[in-house]
Amino acid sequence: MPIAKPEMHFFICNSYRVSGQAQGACNSKEAGDLLAYLETEILDRGLDAQVSGCGCLKVCTEGPVMVVYPAGKWFGQIDEEKVDAILDALEDGEDTSELEID
């Protein structure tokens, strides 16, 4: 049976290491709360998107870090305000390069 594949898939780094411990820059900057915030925003906006936490994305100094596929866009130092701006831009098909990690 085919699975439902979303149009977009967001990953927020929750700093997981091989040991399974959530440590590191993103987790210490409330990435877990941002994961819940993003999930709520996705539902409120009715976007065909999935949200997942993930392990370290190896750009810790940019944390908290979020990536979205299939666009392959990387965003750093995210907070609720920046998540809103990113979602607004993606919904409107606007350029997000000013919000992305260089």
Please select the residue that binds ligand FES; options are 9, 32, 50, 60, rule is CB under 6 A: 60
Per rule CB under 6 A, is residue 34 in the interface with ligand FES?
A: no
Per rule CB under 6 A, is residue 53 in the interface with ligand FES?
A: no
CA distance 88 to 102: 20
Q: Helices in the chain by DSSP H: which ranges?
A: 24-28, 31-45, 80-92
Per rule CB under 6 A, is residue 54 in the interface with ligand FES?
A: no
H or E stretch including 4?
none
Binding site for ligand FES (CB under 6 A): 13, 15, 24-26, 56-60, 63, 65
